[in-house]
Chain A
Amino acid sequence: MTAIEATEVSKRYGTVVALDRVDLTVPEGEIFGFLGPNGAGKSTFINVLLDFATPSDGSVEIFGHDCHAEGVAARERIGVLPEGYSVFERRTGRQHIEYAIESKDADDDPAEILDRVGLDPTDAEREASDYSKGMAQRLVLGMALVGEPDLLLLDEPTTGLDPNGAAEMRDIIREENERGATVFFSSHILEQVEAVCDRVGILQDGELVAVDTIEGLRESLGGGTKLVITVDDLRNGTVETVRGVQGVETAVEREDSTLEVTCTNDAKMDILVELHDAGVDVVNFRTEEASLEDMFIEYTGSGR
Chain B
Amino acid sequence: MSWRVIAREDVRGTMLSKTTWLAVGLFPVAFLGYVVAHDYIGEPNFPAFVAGLAGVVGVLLPAVAILLGYKSIADDRTSGRLTLTLSLPHSRRDLAVGTFVSRAAVVLVPALLALAVAGVVGAVRFGSEGVLWFPWFLVATALFGTAFVGFAVGLSMSTTADRWITLGGLGGYLLLVTFWGSLQSTVLVVLHRFEFQVLNDMPDWALLFRMIEPGEAYARLVRAGFDVDLAGLYVAEGAPVYVSAPAALVLLLAWAVVPLAVGYRRFRESDL
Contacts and interface: CB of A to CB of B under 8 A. Distances in A.
Contact of A50 (B5, B79, B86): B86
B17 interface: yes
Nearest to B271: A53
B87 A75 contact: yes
Contact of A100 (B16, B81, B88): B88
A91 interface: yes
B80 A89 contact: no
Interface in B64-94: 79-81, 83-84, 86-91, 94
Contacts of A72: 2, 89-91, 94
Interface of B: 2, 5, 8-9, 12-13, 16-17, 79-81, 83-84, 86-91, 94, 269, 271-272
Interface stretch (A1-9, A79-87, A177-185, A279-287): A79-87
Interface in A79-107: 80, 82, 84-91, 95, 99-100, 102-104
Contacts of B5: 99, 102-103
Nearest to A103: B88
A143 B85 CA distance: 11
Contacts of B272: 47, 52-53
Interface residues of A, number: 29
Nearest to B13: A88
Contact of A90 (B13, B79, B88, B269): B13
Interface in A123-150: 140, 143-144
A262 interface: no
A71 interface: yes
B271 A47 contact: yes
25 contacts: A54-B269, A54-B271, A72-B94, A75-B88, A84-B83, A85-B81, A85-B87, A86-B83, A86-B84, A87-B81, A88-B9, A88-B13, A88-B81, A89-B17, A90-B13, A90-B16, A95-B12, A99-B5, A99-B9, A103-B2, A103-B88, A103-B89, A104-B89, A140-B84, A143-B87
Top-5 shortest CB links A-B: A80-B87, A86-B80, A103-B88, A52-B272, A53-B271
Given A47-B272, A53-B271, A89-B13, 19 more contacts: A52-B83, A53-B272, A54-B269, A54-B271, A72-B89, A82-B84, A85-B80, A86-B80, A86-B81, A88-B13, A88-B81, A89-B17, A89-B81, A102-B8, A102-B9, A103-B2, A103-B5, A143-B84, A144-B87
A76 interface: yes
Nearest to B18: A90
Nearest to A95: B12
A89 B78 CA distance: 14
B91 A71 contact: yes
Main SS of the interface on chain B? helix
Contacts of B271: 47, 52-54
Contacts of B13: 88-91
Contacts of B84: 82, 85-88, 140, 143
B218 to A, nearest CB: 33
Contacts of A50: 86-87
B86 A52 contact: yes
A222 B77 CA distance: 48
B83 A82 contact: yes
A104 B88 contact: yes
Contacts of A95: 12
Interface in A22-65: 47, 50-54
Contacts of A80: 87-88
Nearest to A13: B271
Contacts of B16: 89-91
Kindly name the residue among A47, A75, A91, A103 whose own CB sees the greatest number of chain B CB atoms within 10 A.
Answer: A103
A52 B270 CA distance: 8
A54 B17 CA distance: 34
Contacts of B269: 54
A160 B81 CA distance: 18
Contacts of B80: 84-86
A94 B253 CA distance: 39
Kindly name the residue among B83, B87, B94, B269 whose own CB sees the greatest number of chain A CB atoms within 10 A.
Answer: B87
